[in-house]
Each structure stands twice: as structure tokens, then as C-alpha cells.
């Protein structure tokens, strides 16, 4: 498995990737927005919802025949959206790495997916070099340090807010369990 740069990137680090239009424009807008004292900037990574919507990171990699096996930070929306509300209610500003703590590889995600959602799921790996030959734009791979966000989560829990942002592996287990329950309640939603 390929390794990421170490240590994880903090909110003070500049964007480490501009190889796609999305990444380039996102980093340029952040460079401008951080000078405004009333802005809150949330850095999401590979967002995951509790359904199999086409824009869900899990749906995307589950439909690829081959994936790279590189750990990345991920944003489990079920965990993080209540924190976004709390940040807004507290009038927080600045940049926050808006991810669950830790990094998880695509293989680990697919193994959890297979174990909880689809026991028949199979995939193959390929290298970054092989991947670059079949994609239109490059992809970013990184781990973001979420300690600034987690300090706020701890503060908000102390104030009585119902927020919980588990480590990424536990977050995926919980997400896939909720996803499976949703699929069982609405079988057509799995398509």
C-alpha cells in the first residue's frame, strides 16, 4: 500500500494538489476567502453519505473495476453535518479540516462494504501510474489533521451538543450499518 506524506496536513498547510480543475479552483478560492474575517471554510475529503447516491465516494469506488490502495482522509457526512451546524451557531471562522480522524485506504473501505453491505463485492488494485492512464484529471491523496475540529467537537459536547465524530474506521462501520438498514427498508434505493 502506498504511503501518504507525513505528518497529516494541518489547516496552516497550503493545498498539496492542483491537478484537477476542482482542486485548483477550490484551493484558489480558499486562498482568497481566508482573508475575510467572517468566513468559515470546511475542507471536506471524499464525502460519504448514508446512501448509495451517485456522488457518494463509496458508490464511485464500488463501481470501479480497479482502485488504488492509498489511505486518505474521508468526511462521513452523518457525523460531520451536526458539527457544521454547531460551528455556524458559534460563529466560528477560519479553516477547518472537516474530516473524521484518521485515514483509511480504498481497500479497507471496500472490505467493510463487502462485510456489511455486499458479500459478493470484488475489486482489483492498480498503481497510481496505471490509474493515471485511465482518468481524465489527476487525484489527490492525503491525510488531513482533524485535531482542530476535534477540539471544537469536545467543546460542543461539553456544552450539551449532540455531536460525535468517530475515527474513520468506526465511522465507516456505523455508516455502512445505517446504509444496510436503509437498503433493507427501501430495497429499490440500492440501485
Question: What confidence tens digit (pLDDT) does each residue in 118-174 have?
Answer: 999 999 998 777 776 776 655 678 899 999 999 999 999 999 999 999 999 999 999
Residues whose CB is less than 8 angstroms from the CB of residue 118 and which lie 6 or more positions away in sequence, other chains included = 62
Parse the chain into domains and list their residue ranges. 39-190
Between vectors from CA 44 to CA 66 and to CA 90, what angle results, nearest 5°? 160
d(CA 184, CA 175): 14
Please give the model's pTM, rounded to 2 decimal places. 0.88
Q: Which CATH number fits domain 39-190: 3.30.360.10, 3.30.1660.40, 3.20.20.60, 3.40.50.720?
A: 3.40.50.720
Amino acid at each position: 500500500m502506498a504511503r501518504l506524506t507525513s505528518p497529516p496536513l494541518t489547516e496552516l498547510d497550503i493545498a498539496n494538489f492542483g491537478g484537477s480543475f476542482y482542486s485548483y479552483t477550490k484551493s484558489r478560492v480558499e486562498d482568497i476567502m481566508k482573508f475575510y474575517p467572517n468566513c468559515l471554510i470546511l475542507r471536506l475529503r471524499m464525502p460519504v453519505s448514508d446512501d448509495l447516491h451517485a456522488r457518494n465516494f463509496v458508490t464511485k469506488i464500488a463501481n470501479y473495476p480497479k482502485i488504488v490502495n492509498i489511505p486518505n482522509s474521508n468526511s462521513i457526512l452523518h457525523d460531520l453535518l451536526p458539527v457544521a451546524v454547531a460551528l455556524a451557531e458559534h460563529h466560528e471562522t477560519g479553516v477547518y479540516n472537516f474530516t473524521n480522524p484518521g485515514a483509511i485506504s480504498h481497500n479497507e473501505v471496500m472490505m467493510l462494504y463487502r462485510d456489511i453491505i455486499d458479500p459478493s463485492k470484488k475489486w482489483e488494485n492498480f498503481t497510481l501510474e496505471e490509474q493515471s492512464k485511465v482518468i481524465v484529471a489527476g487525484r489527490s491523496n492525503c491525510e488531513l489533521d482533524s485535531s482542530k475540529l476535534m477540539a471544537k467537537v469536545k467543546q460542543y459536547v461539553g456544552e450539551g451538543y449532540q455531536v460525535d465524530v468517530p475515527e474513520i474506521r468506526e465511522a465507516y462501520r456505523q455508516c455502512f450499518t445505517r446504509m444496510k438498514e436503509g437498503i433493507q427498508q427501501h430495497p429499490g434505493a440500492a440501485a
